[in-house]
Amino acid sequence: MTTVTMKGVSLALDDHGQVAQLHGLGIQCFGGTYYAYGENKANGNRFQGVACYTSDDLAHWRSEGIVLGVRESGLLAADTIAERPKVLRCPSTGEYVMYIHTERGDYNYAHIGVAVADNPLGPFRFLFSMQPFGNISRDIGVFQDEDGAGYLISEDREHGTHIYRLSGDYHSVVEDVACERGTNYEYGYESPTIIRHEGLYYWFGSQLTGWECNDNMVSTATDLHGPWSEWRPFAPVGSRTFDSQCDVIVPLDDDQYHSTRFMYIGDRWRQSALGESPLVVLPIVLDGEDVAL
Ligand code: DGJ
């Protein structure tokens, strides 16, 4: 991927010169290679498959095509919506498990789709959709801790945003670890993502403003169960997170749990041309309770 970058804003191009369809993306490093999975929004908001790109250096990206395809009918068909694909490798089975926010024609179905593959390049096979413990689930994120435990983070309009612990095979949830609303805010935060650094968990999220950007927030805790600190902005107040919505924080050192350098990636949505929404890529400093983009 050639990246045309100006002040951290990248219109990411793949090795064919096409805009990389990495909207609402998730990134994992498997076997020393970075795999990025994104919403393909080339032709609007309806599901067009999950696109995958690989990289050895987070700067040059190869297009690996569509790894979760459009189905003929039902969920993940061309008339549905599916957002924020995230992939984890399950340590106990070796399987690659993809989670994706699945909707039907509008945003009322609010389930998590689960798909699996033997290979990070897919093809991923859709298994089922679920609502963890019966809770609404819209924006999602994932986190894998150093002990191999997997977590789904999921926005539930009624209760707040949850952290759910996954079962040993990563196919279901076994614990509602935490559920948080924002500070002085009615809802839990969207576009959730968590990382750990030097004994602290950092939970990031955005306010609920549709495709518009806002001042995204972070909370910290020494345990995923909490207590979680008050939520606070990590970019200059009023900058609307430099006009972006957080997707992931990527550890840049080889040992992701002892990394000292981190990269923020977020979307700057263009509602009229979602497929041309640029990524905002910026360094982020984590220093105890202090977080600065
Ligand atoms: C905010 C979410 O974070 C996006 O993924 C998308 O669902 C938009 N809302 C739709 O308005």
pTM of the model: 0.95
pLDDT digits (tens, 9 = 90+) for 208-263: 999 999 999 999 999 999 999 999 999 999 999 999 999 999 999 989 999 999 99
Structure-token pair, residue 185 = 């805010």
* Dist CA 144 CA 90 (whole Å): 9
| Ligand 1 centroid – CA 133 distance (Å) | 23
**Site to substitute for ligand 1 among 23, 39, 80, 83, most atoms within 8 A of C-beta:** 83
Other CB atoms within 10 A of residue 75 CB: 19
| Ligand 1 centroid – CA 98 distance (Å) | 19
What pLDDT is stored for residue 59 in this prediction?
84
Q: Rounded to 5 degrees, what are φ and ψ at 232?
A: -145, 155
Distance in angstroms between the alpha carbons of the first and the last residue of the chain? 24
| Ligand 1 centroid – CA 58 distance (Å) | 25
Beta carbon of 187 within 6 Å of any ligand 1 atom = no
Beta carbon of 267 within 6 Å of any ligand 1 atom = no
* Dist CA 92 CA 150 (whole Å): 11
Nearest-atom index, ligand 1, CA of 191: 3
- Separate counts of helices (H) and strands (E) for the chain: 1, 22
Whether residue 73 is predicted with pLDDT greater than 80 in this model: the reply is: yes
* Dist CA 219 CA 161 (whole Å): 12
Listed range (55-59, 126-130, 151-155) with the worst mean pLDDT:
55-59
Whether residue 1 is predicted with pLDDT greater than 70 in this model: the reply is: no
| Ligand 1 centroid – CA 43 distance (Å) | 16
Position with higher pLDDT, 13 vs 276: 276
Instruction: Give me the mean pLDDT over the 278-289 stretch.
Output: 95
Q: Rounded to 5 degrees, what are φ and ψ at 273?
A: -150, 70
Sequence-ordered alpha helix ranges (H) in the chain: 240-243
* Dist CA 177 CA 284 (whole Å): 26
Beta carbon of 139 within 6 Å of any ligand 1 atom = yes
Beta carbon of 210 within 6 Å of any ligand 1 atom = yes
Strand partners, 267: 245, 279
Is residue 262 within 8 A of residue 209, CB to CB? The reply is: no
Residue 291 pLDDT grade (very low, low, confident, very high; cuts 50, 70, 90): very high
* Dist CA 98 CA 89 (whole Å): 9
* Dist CA 195 CA 272 (whole Å): 32
**Site to substitute for ligand 1 among 25, 81, 138, most atoms within 8 A of C-beta:** 138
From the number of C-beta atoms within 10 Å of its C-beta (0-12, 13-18, 19+), residue 9 rates as middle
Beta carbon of 39 within 6 Å of any ligand 1 atom = no
Residue 6 pLDDT grade (very low, low, confident, very high; cuts 50, 70, 90): very low
pLDDT digits (tens, 9 = 90+) for 132-161: 999 999 999 999 999 999 999 999 999 999
Listed range (16-30, 171-185, 200-214, 251-265) with the worst mean pLDDT:
16-30
Structure-token pair, residue 125 = 């096979």
- Closest-CA residue, ligand 1 atom 1, reads 210
Nearest-atom index, ligand 1, CA of 107: 7
Beta carbon of 247 within 6 Å of any ligand 1 atom = no
What pLDDT is stored for residue 10 in this prediction?
57
Other CB atoms within 10 A of residue 78 CB: 13
CA proximity to 263, closest of 279, 255, 253, 251: 251
| Ligand 1 centroid – CA 12 distance (Å) | 20
Whether residue 281 is predicted with pLDDT greater than 80 in this model: the reply is: yes
| Ligand 1 centroid – CA 56 distance (Å) | 30
pLDDT digits (tens, 9 = 90+) for 86-107: 999 999 999 999 999 999 999 9
* Dist CA 217 CA 159 (whole Å): 18
* Dist CA 266 CA 257 (whole Å): 21
* Dist CA 139 CA 119 (whole Å): 25
What pLDDT is stored for residue 9 in this prediction?
54
- Closest-CA residue, ligand 1 atom 3, reads 191
Is residue 48 within 8 A of residue 65, CB to CB? The reply is: no
Nearest-atom index, ligand 1, CA of 81: 7
Structure-token pair, residue 51 = 């696109």
Structure-token pair, residue 47 = 């599901």
* Dist CA 139 CA 269 (whole Å): 15
